[in-house]
Each structure stands twice: as C-alpha cells, then as structure tokens.
Structure 1
C-alpha cells in the first residue's frame, strides 16, 4: 500500500487529479452547461508531462527528500510518463486547436517554471529571478484551472469570476510560500532564487499572512453572489492552512507536503463536488 501511495503521489497522478477537480469547480460556479471535456483530458495529460519533466530534471545530490530519491530510482518511469503525457497533451491540443493561443500561453508559463533546471546557458539566468519560482507556479495554476475554462467555454467576464480567481490566487500563493520555505536549502545549493531566499523571515511571514487574509476576503466578497454554504467551502482551506502552518513549517515530510499541503489547493473543489452530488 505504501508503494502504491508513493506511486500515486510521486508520479504526479495526484496533482493531475487536483487540477481536474479545480476545473470542475470553475465550471460549476460559472454554471457551464456544455462542458468541453477535451480540456479535462488535455490538462490531465499536460500536468503529467510537465510535472514528470520537472522532477526528472531535479538532481538528487542536494536533498534527502523521499520524493526526489524516489524519482532518482525511477528516472525511466518519469521519462515514460512525461512522454505519454506529452502525446496525450498534443492530441488534446489538436482537439482544442480552435483555442491554440490560450493553450500556448499555458504551455509557456508551465515551461518557465521548470526552465531554470535546464543546464543550458540560455535558461540558467532564470535561476536569478527572485520571485520567479513562486509567481510562475501560482500563475500557471490559476491560469489553467480558472482562466482557461472561461476562455474555452467563451464565458463573458463577470465580477464574481474575478473575485473567485483572486481568492484562488492568494490561497495558492500562500501554499507556494510554504513549499519555498521547505526547499530553502536545496534551492540555494542549486543556485535557484525563490521568494524565501530574497525576503527576510519577518517580511515573508507578513506576505504569507497577507495572502491568506486576502484569499479569505475575496471568498467572503462572493457571498452576495453565492450562498453561505459555498462561501464556507471556499473558506475551509484558508482556515485549515492557517491552523496547520506551525506544524507545516516544522516538518519536512514529502508525504505531508505533497498530499496534505497540495490537497489544500483542491479542498474547496472536493467539498463542493461532494455537496453538489449529495
């Protein structure tokens, strides 16, 4: 069972499912009737490709991380999943070719996140961008799970869509700060600058708390549009993330971070799905 759990988490199947559930919530909130299911397929495959590519490039020299060591033992598997994901993503891209410009934007953002790990000189300079790692990752998640469904379904802009996107952005940003804090030493050894290496601990704490507060405020601002139950669902991951912060900063467990902390990204989506199907 532990081996199966490791495979689901470390092969990025879990994180790909997180993306799918979040897209479902976006469509549900916007009351989309004729959902383009090809986009679900595209995102799942593209997530598998990009995350396995990212971890394939991550060296095991600088870390005792169980995930990185698992990846070092399963390089061929990661490369195979990356290839299969790429083939599936290309097929999904063809099915969604009418939206090629928006899809290309997602591809560029995703590539920029992993590009600093490439050894070529053209990409090494990206390691010096102080907030790039955090900002790119947050932006690509919001773009893929919140903005892209709107573009695919050609939904008109609305005030509550902006509030929802901002709520998600600041929640994901806060969670990325926790990951940056944990990866401080390995990032320094790899020469990758992240937000945590640039800000003082005091200012980083302020940014983290501010992000959670803004996420909660934007969720509360949606109350006049949606009912109190949905507002409570959106606030749930913000509250739980706040409560587990102290423990999160102390532990280095990969299983905790990649299951629990990553899970906070989709918690409101999962709760929303359960409530909608009761």
Structure 2
C-alpha cells in the first residue's frame, strides 16, 4: 500500500528533478515521509511541497547546505527570516563587487586617453578641521563614512567654505593599511571629539577629475599616474581627493565629481 506520492509524482509537482530530490535526501535536507523497507521506494507527502520549494530557492541563491539546514530547523519565523536576510545581504555585496569590476573592465577595454584632462596646481597651505586615523583598506569606506558624518555634524552648511577632501598615505594602497585623513575647510576651525585642527602644507599636484561612482576610480588613478610619469616627476607624498560633488550633494551618481591630486615636482614655474 502506498503511503504518499512517489518521487516521480513529487518531482512533477515541485518542478524538481528526481536526481535533485535524491541529493536533498542524501544531504539530510529533505527526507521522504516514508521509505518502503522492502523496495526502498521513497514516498513524499503534500505537506513537504513548500519545504522542497524553499530549499530549491535557497540553493539557487548558493546558500550553503549548513545554513539551509539551520533555516529549516528553526521554528521561529523571525529567526528564519533573519538567517535568509543575512545571506541576501552577502549576495548583494558580492553583486556590488561584480558590478564594480564590470564597470572597471569596460573602461579598461575602451581606453580613451583624450578624455583625461590634467591640470597642474599649486595648493597653498590650508587650515582645516579633520579626522585622522590609521585604517585598513578593507575598512576604509566604513571609516570614511563615520569620519565625514562626524565632521558634518560638527559644522553645518553655513560654516563650510569648500568641498570636503581626503588625504591617503601611499601605504594604504601598497601595504593594505595606512594613514587616512578626511577634512573640511570651515570659517572658524575648532576641535572636539575626534575632530582636530590640521595644517595641510602647500603642495604641487597634478589633478584629474573622476566622474561618477568610485567603482572604477582606480582606472582614473592609473591613467593619472601614467600622465605624471610621462610629463612630470612624481614625489613621495599622500594623494588628495576633493569631493566636489558627492553622495552628500546629490543622489545621482552620474553627477558625482572627484578631483584626484597626485603630488608632483614641477620642472618649471607654470609647467
């Protein structure tokens, strides 16, 4: 006497192959409701259809087997939702990294040196308010956001006199960790909390503008670096970024403009 649906019937109803259902059984994800002790035939119940479909969706999202088991094992709907949300967040981060890599590759595959405009500037000494720290490259985005938020909270729009900037030690890129400084020019600098008053020394820099998201800003860095090698003498020193238009100004990434200032030694006045 049959005790449910055969594996073939269950496969038809769930749109899962017999092979997949056998694999789920072997992995301990979805065991048949009963197994005939004489024939070894697997039989499934109608109540197992939602579980089979949930497992299939999770595996399509590359959820590891151990996490699938944890999700299925919990009877708490909120806990189950949290486990799935954690994995979805990881997938979103991976998709963002993939998208950024695609953008960079497209620019690299279609180089157009003519659209890189470089300007040599002499920056005067400046007094700014800043947050400084020794940061890993992996943590640099989070650190930057927190530091800039602290500066924004301390100095309102009426107190600011220019675009914010960032200064990054070479070691941040060459060694994966180094000094980072984010700063704002303001009317009346004052210290408080992590915010300190910093004197930026004068510098000669070659400046190029990166348009849009920072996903492929490394491409602009590379092209600017090549220009510096060809036209000037590079000197040791931190690279400056000035966020002329950024996420705090507009939610439209296409409008973002970041000036990259590469330290150089000028060969001649006005060169």
TM over 0.5: no
TM-score scaled by length of structure 2: 0.21
Higher relative contact order at CA 8 Å, sep ≥6: structure 1 or structure 2? 1
Q: If you compute each CA radius of gyration, which structure gives the higher value, 1 or 2?
A: 2
- Structure having the higher helix fraction is 1
